[in-house]
Every structure is written in structure tokens, then in C-alpha cells.
A and B are shown apart, each in its own frame.
Chain A
């Protein structure tokens, strides 16, 4: 059942690099990461790649296969024709470190800027009571394995390096939505979503949802509901008029 597969793997670092051709054995049931490992063990021992669980649970082996952002461990070889040349490159929205490894520190910086869970003042540990239907929405977002494929594919930063300053990306806008919908979170996160994390940059073109390996409906369940909540606070003319007329507001 095994055959020789044709691979093109990007090798290099931030100074430059190129696609290198390899011919590698492919066996039944394998995924692209298996092939990368076989390359390491046989032809390119110093080929750099991140991976951990190899079961789609840790989100380490993010890269691009034939131009599509994917987890290498969840991309089955049976998806491709046997004579197809399979191109594997690092994620193209981030600086490259070496070979398939990229510098994902942008994501950790953005994570740190999202105000943490703000516990309710009066409740002690053990006194938290929440209904399943109230936690379910946030639980969907907490399935996120932080593979950063959504961040990689989002054109706001992929195509515009300069937007990284003001835009936190789908992963962390979803994190804000998660906290906003958390039944016991005490903070109001609508203004900060718009002002500090760039929710307005999102034009809901849904690539984040398309690439999510956890099948989280990022756009429909996190980003759009968050936009609606912001709209309710900031762009609703009736609310705006009410605030003007009755001198309410902050």
C-alpha cells in the first residue's frame, strides 16, 4: 500500500530560503506530519517543525499545506492523489524562525492584553452556580487549542503587517466574546473590543471559521455576536439619541 510521495518543503530562515524537493515513502493511514518525521529521520535530520500531541489536541503543528493553513497532524495523506506534489510551508502571517517553525509571539502578546476573567466580588470558591445553558456558549470558544491558524489566515494581519498593532485577531476577539458571555464575569468588554482590540477591522469574511480545526464557529458565534453587542452600545442611534437627550452615558 505504500508509495513514493512527492514533497516540496520550505527550508530556510528569516534571511531567506526556498522550496526543496523530496521523495518520501508514504504508508496507509498516514498524515502529513508522519511524512515530515520520516524526512527528519532519513533525509533531513535538522528539518525544524513544531509538534506535540499528534492528535489534533495541542495545536502545535500549524503550517500550510498546498497553500492552506492546516494542522500537519490532521491532514491525511489520503486527501491527495498519489502523484500530486504536496507543498508544505510555514505559516505566512508570522515571521519565520526556521523551516516550518514561525515566531508566534504576536499571539502571546495579544493574549496578555485581554483583560483576564474578572470574578464576581461576593462569591467565594465553591459558591459559583452556573446553568449549563449559560456556560455553553463560552465553552464552545474554550475548545480553542490555540493553533493560531485563524490568526494566520486572517487577511487583516496576513496581508497587512501594520495592522498587527491594532488588531488582536480572531482568536483573541473570540476570547473577549467568551468572557463577555461568561455568566459570572463582572467586566463590560464591549468598548475595549472595539477600541483596543480592533473588532472593527474584522469584515466577517469567515476564513477563521473555515480553517478552525476544532470547528468552532468563530465568526457566527463569537465575532458577529460581539459586533452586535458593540453596535448595541456604540452605534445604535436610539441609544445614542437617548444618551444625548438624557445626558446619560459614561
Chain B
């Protein structure tokens, strides 16, 4: 815990016996964050290494956790971009995209706030002391690497395009023609929200226009910036919503692919 001589206990500061006088339940938000993020990480890890039930051949549903499917172990129909990764239990079928997506979220300005607060307790809540005796923030390795967030953003854009492609291919019926089912709504909804999360990213805001000194000289980029800025105010919401939709989408494909449920078909 905090030494008795530093921080809010440093001698020239007002002597108070308790680290925080907050009377509200400040520990609730960090606790919910821990629960929420843990569920996602556990579920995602399980599914990434399961190497099964990711593709519904009849309707061409591919779960985002296996897109793009590039392992030699991938089912042929699921692999839209070739198969070349070794088929090994420790190599997820989407081993090219998953680490990038993980790093995109890990270095995301919102998630950073979330886990710094809830897992690292730095600080657990505003005006509640953190339990570390030293703090250097993002000034040195490894946390200084958070600064390359924008590269993971670029990767996330490419992967979002692939996810979009997957969602379009999924309008498929067993006879080879156009098909439509509940799964399509889920896949499309998920992709739309993934785009919202990706485009509302702070790095996206920077590259579209934030880096400019004179908006008036770049009207198109200014327009883009205002739209991204609008999305950006809801970046946190999209971060949580997409965790939900990713689990939901994957679970749906999982259940349909495993035969536990059947897709609700509207056409074909």
C-alpha cells in the first residue's frame, strides 16, 4: 500500500486519517470492468483455440474469431484468402488477425483507461489513491509502446474490410443462390458496430483531420473529422457494445455450426 509519507499523506498536505473521503460506491465501475473484460478474454481464448464450429457451410456464416481463416486446418469454404499457416493446436486459425485485433484493443485509449483503472488501480477511481509507491506512466518501456496504437488501427481497418466481405458472402442459401436468415442480421449488425468502434478511434480522429493546424484549408478532411469526432464521443460505448456483439455473433455461429440450434431462415 501507499507509504504513509507520500501522495495524499505527504507531510505538507492536509493531515487526514483516511486515503479517501468518498462516500459513494466508487469501486463499482472498476469491478464491473474487471468482470466484463475477464468474461471476454476467457471466452475469446477458449474459442480462438477451439478450432471447431466456426463455419456454417450451408449459409457461409463465418465467425469473426476465425476471419480470415488461414490455417491449413481451416475448412476449405471458410478460407477466403488461402491456407498457409501450420495447423497446430496452439496456433489459432485466424492467427494473423487476432493478435492485431487484440493489440488494437489493448492499446486503445479507452481500454487503456479501463484496465489502468480497474486492473492496475492506477487510480481505481478519481481522488482514490493508487496502491503503487512509484509511477512513471507511459514514459518508458513497455508502456511507451502504447504510442504505436495507430498502426493497429490501420490493421483493424483492413480486418474490418475482411469482416465486411465475410458478412456479404454470408447472404447465401444452400442451393448457391441468395439467402437470408437471422444470422445475416447478426453478422451485419456486428460488422456495422465494429466499423463504429474502429472509426471512432482516437488515432482515426487524428489521421483524418486532428493533426491539421488549419481545418479551413482542408474542407473535406474537416468534414470527415467532425463526423469521426461525433463517433469518438461514443468510443467507450462502442468498445463495450462490440465486446457484446462479438460474443453474441460468435456464439450464434458456434451454436448453428455445432447443430445445437438451427438458423432462422427467411429466404433460402
Contact = CB atoms under 8 A, between A and B. Distances in A.
A155 interface: yes
Interface stretch (B44-52, B74-82, B187-195, B213-221): B213-221
Interface string B1-18: 010001110111111100
Contact of B14 (A66, A92, A205): A92
Contacts of B8: 92-93, 158-159
Interface residues of A, number: 62
Contact of A10 (B2, B16, B123, B203): B16
A203 B147 CA distance: 11
Contact of A131 (B13, B16, B116, B215): B215
A134 B214 CA distance: 6
B13 A235 contact: no
A155 B122 contact: yes
Interface residues of B, number: 56
B206 A161 contact: no
B150 interface: yes
Nearest to B233: A220
B206 A228 contact: yes
B127 A153 contact: yes
Given A160-B134, A220-B233, A234 B147 contact: yes
A66 B16 CA distance: 13
Given A163-B135, A183-B214, A12 B14 contact: yes
Contacts of B178: none
Contacts of A94: 13
Contacts of A87: 21, 23
Interface stretch (A15-23, A35-43, A54-62, A168-176): A15-23
A161 B7 contact: yes
Nearest to A65: B21
B88 interface: no
Interface stretch (A110-118, A206-214, A241-249): A206-214
Given A159-B8, A203-B138, A237-B151, A210 B211 contact: no
26 contacts: A12-B14, A14-B12, A17-B14, A18-B15, A67-B20, A67-B23, A68-B126, A159-B123, A159-B135, A160-B7, A160-B134, A161-B7, A163-B135, A183-B214, A198-B137, A201-B138, A201-B139, A203-B138, A207-B123, A207-B126, A225-B210, A227-B147, A228-B211, A229-B206, A230-B147, A231-B149
Interface of B: 2, 6-8, 10-16, 20-24, 109, 112-113, 116-117, 122-123, 126-130, 132, 134-140, 143-144, 147-151, 202-203, 205-206, 210-211, 213-216, 222, 232-233
Given A10-B16, A225-B205, 20 more contacts: A12-B15, A67-B21, A67-B128, A68-B126, A94-B13, A95-B13, A155-B123, A159-B2, A161-B6, A183-B214, A200-B137, A201-B139, A202-B138, A203-B116, A204-B116, A205-B123, A220-B232, A225-B210, A232-B211, A235-B148
